[in-house]
């Protein structure tokens, strides 16, 4: 058995070349090389690795069959977008038919090859097996999904002249996890949500752009065009039932040359020229596509876009969207203008708000700030005008104002549980101003939505749920929801998308497509949205050790951030410039970007951001 990696690759690094040469080799682009991970940790290595350019080595004369397979696999890890060197290992019949873009098998270590070395000098063919433990799969739409188990594939080789060449192998790539994350980076595509009954609500705030992360190659002749092409190809399979496609089927970028169909000039004006299939786009649909293009490209660009223009195949303008109009559906609108940081005081169980950029806090205005608030958990509306809380008995849900002293409105939703730990969960507001909460009573465990926070509770169907919902957080887009689910004492992290049906008078809600995002070997105790397609998760392993980690909605787990003792809960904002909040040992701490934990006074717990 052979482990790939013995042949070696030509590696060019910034440390071994003048900076200008390294930049020319890597290609100049405004796209970031890593996803949304924002803490100073091992994730910074990805930025360093993005400056590394790897070149494959073509086959040498007299190499054995297994050496040819190893060389081919190594060549596929190079920065060549057309895999020109890797194709030199292929037989003539396969060179033009092998498709590296159908998907990627990501292995936890390097691929191992076995066989093919016991052939005689006159043998015309042989086989080599490639194997290894799987870490993830990436499909043809660039969607990443963790996967485990053993991988094994057979590579067939024939003699071409006197040399071995590969004449049969599976389409797609086989990469180690290290090579995959060096070559590919996470990019958010943005699609409009299918809101069904909620689409009837008036106002542009009811339009929602939803982030759909995919993995694209970092070193490409035109990374901007690759991003736009991925958007036009449509959403990933998991999200496809919850969002609308970016454009009708068949719409593609005009032309094939770099810079021919997608340009971004020095003034930050984006122009996307489409093929004739886009001529059937109506005016409204064209503007929606421009908004999706604007949000997708802006999320990857280090400079602020000024406009996004969609062009016909003949170069004429189909529609143009200036930046002043492009933010109506974007994340800033969904999140709301508030960036308040809140927690429940330890002494009187009332709601406190942190002072801006400080470690001191004061009670909020109104009943939530009263010494008689008696709160066990709380959720602040995204506009920070209202809040909802669960009383310390776990049975009563109250809603009230953060701007006046009016009494609490007591919800009709109550729990019959006698133990507060089995009562109502901490609530969560979505981007529509609706309130989500779970009743954890083992006898009747259910999930509910309250329109406007005070409407009649509507039960939510979760057909794939196994266990009870322990806690929940709804994304600002109102489409995605993350659940901590308790089954037989093990708490897992489940992500689903929200299906809305019925009418305004009789709304119906379901949570569909549950996917397990639990970091391997951990039990999850707390979760919060921490970006457009990212969560921050507090979990513990089988030995009881705690970790705070960032987990993407596709399941990719980033390195752990700095630990802080025995934490109880964690909170973050979808605005990634805001600090991380943690409840630990009866106090709240916050972690600014690139800084250390700071303790907040007075004592308290259950920190939250609006949402």
What's the count of helices (H) and strands (E) in the chain, helices before strands?
10, 39
The percent of the chain in helix, strand and coil, each rounded to the nearest 5, is 15, 40, 45
Percent of the chain with pLDDT over 90: 72
The Cα-based distances of 270 to 111, 273, 301, 327 in angstroms read 41, 10, 11, 15
Closest CA to 158 of 247, 91, 205: 91
The residue ranges of the chain whose pLDDT is under 70 are 1-53, 197-206, 256-259, 327-338
- pLDDT at residue 258, as a whole number: 59
**Distance (Å, rounded) from C-alpha 271 to C-alpha 281?**
16
Supply 259's token pair. 């810079």
The Cα-based distances of 466 to 164, 486, 491, 526 in angstroms read 52, 8, 11, 18
Contacts of 511 (CB under 8 A, 6+ apart): 447, 460, 461, 462, 465, 481, 483, 496, 497, 498, 499
Which DSSP helix (H) or strand (E) runs through 380?
A: strand 375-380
Strand (E) positions, 433-475?
Answer: 435-439, 446-450, 457-461, 468-474
Closest CA to 346 of 563, 608, 597, 585: 585
CB 73 within 8 A of CB 83: no
Q: In which order are the strands placed within the sheet that holds 342-345?
A: 361-363, 351-354, 342-345, 604-608
CA 42 distance to own-chain centroid: 18
Phi/psi region, residue 72 (left: phi>0; alpha: psi -120 to 50; beta: rest), is: alpha
β-sheet bridge partners, residue 357: none
Q: How many Cβ atoms are within 10 Å of 156's Cβ, its own excluded? A: 16
Q: Which of the 8 DSSP states describes residue 394?
A: S
**Distance (Å, rounded) from C-alpha 474 to C-alpha 378?**
14
CB 350 within 8 A of CB 373: yes
DSSP string, 252-314: -BS-SSTTTSEEE-TT-EEEEEB-GGGGG--HHHHHHHHHHHHHHHHHH-SS---EEEEE-TT
Looking up tokens 């001529």, which residue turns up?
279
- pLDDT at residue 79, as a whole number: 84
* Structural domains of the chain in order of their starting residue, each with its CATH number: 2-184 (no CATH), 193-329 (no CATH), 335-608 (2.130.10.10)
- pLDDT at residue 120, as a whole number: 74
**Distance (Å, rounded) from C-alpha 87 to C-alpha 167?**
11
């Amino acid at each position: 058995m052979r482990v790939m990696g013995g042949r070696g690759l030509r590696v060019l690094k910034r440390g071994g070349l003048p900076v200008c040469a390294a930049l020319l080799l890597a290609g100049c682009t405004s796209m970031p090389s890593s996803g949304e991970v924002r803490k100073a940790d091992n994730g910074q290595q990805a930025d360093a690795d993005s400056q590394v350019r790897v070149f494959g080595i073509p086959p040498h004369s007299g190499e054995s069959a297994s050496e040819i397979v190893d060389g081919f696999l190594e060549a596929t890890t190079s920065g060549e977008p057309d895999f020109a060197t890797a194709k030199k290992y292929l037989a003539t019949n396969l060179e033009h038919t092998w498709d590296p873009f159908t998907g990627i098998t990501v292995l936890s270590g390097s691929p191992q090859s076995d066989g093919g070395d016991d052939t005689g000098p006159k043998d015309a063919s042989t086989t080599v097996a490639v194997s290894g433990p799987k870490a993830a799969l990436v499909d043809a739409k660039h969607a990443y999904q963790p996967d485990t188990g053993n991988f094994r594939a057979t590579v067939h080789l024939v003699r071409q002249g006197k040399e071995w060449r590969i004449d049969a192998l599976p389409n797609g790539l086989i990469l180690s996890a290290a090579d995959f994350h060096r070559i590919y980076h996470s990019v958010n595509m943005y699609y409009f949500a299918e809101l069904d009954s909620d689409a009837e609500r008036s106002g542009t705030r009811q339009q929602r752009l939803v982030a759909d992360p995919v993995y694209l190659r970092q070193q490409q002749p035109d990374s901007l065009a690759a991003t736009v092409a991925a958007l036009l190809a449509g959403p990933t399979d998991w999200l496809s039932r919850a969002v609308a496609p970016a454009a009708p089927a068949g719409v593609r970028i005009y032309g094939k040359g770099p810079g021919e169909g997608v340009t971004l000039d020095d003034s930050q004006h984006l122009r996307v020229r489409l093929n004739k299939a886009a001529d059937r786009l109506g005016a409204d649909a064209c503007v929606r596509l421009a908004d999706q293009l604007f949000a997708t490209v802006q999320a990857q660009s280090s400079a602020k876009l000024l406009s996004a223009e969609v062009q016909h195949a003949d170069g004429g303008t189909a529609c143009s969207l200036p930046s002043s109009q492009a933010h109506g559906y974007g994340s800033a609108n969904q999140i709301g203008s508030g960036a308040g940081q809140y927690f429940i005081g330890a002494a009187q169980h009332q709601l406190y708000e942190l002072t801006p950029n400080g470690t001191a806090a004061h009670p909020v205005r109104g009943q939530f700030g009263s010494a008689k608030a008696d709160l066990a958990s709380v959720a602040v509306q995204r506009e920070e005008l209202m809040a909802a809380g669960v009383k310390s008995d776990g049975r009563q849900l109250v809603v009230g104002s953060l701007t006046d002293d009016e009494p609490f409105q007591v919800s009709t939703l109550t729990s019959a549980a006698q133990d507060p730990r089995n009562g109502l969960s901490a609530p969560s507001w979505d981007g529509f101003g609706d309130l989500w909460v779970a009743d954890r009573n083992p006898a009747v465990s259910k999930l509910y939505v309250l329109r406007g926070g005070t409407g009649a509770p509507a039960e939510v169907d979760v057909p794939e749920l196994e266990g009870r919902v322990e806690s929940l957080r709804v994304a600002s887009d109102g489409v995605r929801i993350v659940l901590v689910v308790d089954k037989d004492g093990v708490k897992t992290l489940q992500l689903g998308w929200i299906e809305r049906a019925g009418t305004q008078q009789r709304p119906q809600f379901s949570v569909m497509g549950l996917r397990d995002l639990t970091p391997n070997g951990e039990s999850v105790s707390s979760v919060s949205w921490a970006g457009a397609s990212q969560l921050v998760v507090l979990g513990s392993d089988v030995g009881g050790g705690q970790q705070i980690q960032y987990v993407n909605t596709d399941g990719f787990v980033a390195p752990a951030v700095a630990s802080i003792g025995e934490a109880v809960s964690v909170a973050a904002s979808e605005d990634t410039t805001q600090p991380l909040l943690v409840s630990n040992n009866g106090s709240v701490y916050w972690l600014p970007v690139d800084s250390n934990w700071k303790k907040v006074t007075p004592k308290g717990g259950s920190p939250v951001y609006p949402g």
